[in-house]
Structure 1
């Protein structure tokens, strides 16, 4: 702050030094003026001016030092009391802008919450005719038409479900209920929902579950498994999907492995990024780039470590590493 203070007062310092030089120049031109007296006056002036700068430094920098040290939030109580008219102008400007930002932030937050509530209400309203449509599709006798309609119905169902969870993620901490969850039951429920799609693509499942129970939130974990299964089914044809679980160093490991087209190596670091689809099928309009992004976000809230290994044209393996019970309790404070 000393450097900034001297730079701020540089013009005053230059003016003062120029006046002292002017006195020396006058004494040089006028022989009747004692040079020793002029030098004595200049010495006293420099001493007094230096003391003045030191005193004013503390007084003039206190306000700005507190501004620099305060947190980058909207708390106005941390602003130092202004002591000069200029400091008062700065303080009034900051307080006015902060109050305006608070009002704007509050308004935007209320708008976002209203939009979220409206979206959730709309999704729940759409589910009713969607359920009715599913019952009507089940009564269709033409198997070809029934298969196509079932697939399109499933796509709508999955998109609505993804949108529902996307809107709930910002408040996931308020919704978590950790309990011992049977992953085998979750898988069977998800596969039943995806059954028509699996039949259409000739996909089967091979379960090798040594461990079937984990500590997690069943509802959010089901969404993670749903995204991994739909991702595997989407990029596979006529092959089985291997689901395996085992214990390793007090951690339960779950693997979902397919033998589909795989993921290009250059895409692997980006597959969990929001909105990223693929550089291989860049014009795939059906991909939203949100499924794996949401999966990663939810996994982080559940303290699940998610990893992916893939070989292009040979398949992809997603690995979920569940936390130790003590590790979860220590982190969440439960």
Structure 2
């Protein structure tokens, strides 16, 4: 920083050098001034020493505020402006402080406007989703009343896909407030799976897909029924979507030695390409299979991953190209939900 300071003060250094040259020239060429050579050397040395000391002193004095700002901006946070020290001098530190204050106020106002716009868009979208669900529900009631009608039977699967898309959008709008919406309790894994399979049964019948549940069907987990069910629905939706007609989706429930519960959902689809595997949970990523299945949005697995983090569920993927994909939901026996359930206070209430 000192070199930069010297470059910044080059005009000062230039005028000091010019004055020294003029002084030496005056002594040398003015016949009325008689100075011994060693005295001239002493004068120049004294002048340069004073100038160097002056520059060092001014450097330390003028850059102390900038150094504090530099240290602060290496670790910026949300409250960065509150951490800025008050300036000791009106110029230039006071000017810099005022500039940063104006930038901070502008940033706050811009952020408030953006948040207000996002909130309005979020409210409008949520309202639209709720309004769309009303006619969808009415359609379902009408369709259930005419199940024997061939046209109604053909409409069941498209209606289900539309319902799943609208429902997914509703969950997206609630994702920001997920923490406040969690209500964990003890649930039987098989019951959670059965409910989601029943929800997707129309689609399974359309593709003639068999769903088989095996393993420890008595296993229980402590989780939120609604959000955990949504994660299962996304994984089952993917399995059904990429399974061939007349295929099979296998669901295996395993109680591991460390008391973790693992639910594996396996399909007989095309599998996931190796280069796509690291990105399958990225928002909007569809991969090669998604480009074949034009209905892919790249949101299902992203939502499943984000919600699983909040539910303390770990997702693991195993795949083989041409053979299928298996996604495991691992419910850890050591997570905040389980610790709350096992706490003495909670057991006393039970």
Partner of 1:80: 85
Partner of 2:45: 43
Matched, 1:310 2:319: yes
TM-score computed with the length of structure 1 as normaliser: 0.89
**How far does residue 52 in structure 1 lie from its aligned partner after superposition?**
2.1
2:100 aligned residue (65, 83, 94): 94
Matched, 1:158 2:158: no
Q: Is the 8 A contact 1:205 1:241 kept in 2?
A: yes
d(CA) in 2 for partners of 1:174, 1:303: 15
- Greater shift, 73-82 or 283-292, is seen at 73-82
Q: Is the 8 A contact 1:305 1:320 kept in 2?
A: yes
1:57 aligned residue (33, 56, 59): 59
Q: Using a 3 Å threshold, how does the CA distance of structure 1 residues 136 and 16 change in structure 2: closer, same or farther?
A: same
After superposition, the CA RMSD in angstroms is 2.6
Q: Using a 3 Å threshold, how does the CA distance of structure 1 residues 27 and 234 change in structure 2: closer, same or farther?
A: same
d(CA) in 2 for partners of 1:329, 1:50: 69
Matched, 1:208 2:214: yes
- Greater shift, 259-268 or 24-33, is seen at 24-33
- Greater shift, 287-296 or 203-212, is seen at 203-212
d(CA) in 1 for partners of 2:328, 2:306: 15
d(CA) in 2 for partners of 1:15, 1:293: 65
Partner of 1:16: 16
d(CA) in 2 for partners of 1:328, 1:15: 73
- Greater shift, 40-49 or 285-294, is seen at 40-49
Matched, 1:298 2:307: yes
Partner of 2:235: 228
TM-score computed with the length of structure 2 as normaliser: 0.85
1:121 aligned residue (116, 127, 132): 127
Q: Using a 3 Å threshold, how does the CA distance of structure 1 residues 34 and 143 change in structure 2: closer, same or farther?
A: farther
**How far does residue 192 in structure 1 lie from its aligned partner after superposition?**
0.9
Q: After superposition, give the CA deviation of every residue in 1:152-201 in whole Å (9 maximum; x if it has no partner).
A: 11111100111111111122222222322222111111111111111111
d(CA) in 2 for partners of 1:78, 1:281: 48
Q: After superposition, give the CA deviation of every residue in 1:10-36 in whole Å (9 maximum; x if it has no partner).
A: 443354345445545665666843332
Matches within 5 A, 1:248-327: 248-282=257-291, 284-325=293-334
Partner of 1:217: 224
**How far does residue 230 in structure 1 lie from its aligned partner after superposition?**
0.4
Question: Aligned to 1:73, what secondary structure does the other structure show?
Answer: coil
Q: Using a 3 Å threshold, how does the CA distance of structure 1 residues 66 and 107 change in structure 2: closer, same or farther?
A: same
Contiguous gaps of at least 5 residues in structure 1? none
d(CA) in 2 for partners of 1:7, 1:73: 34
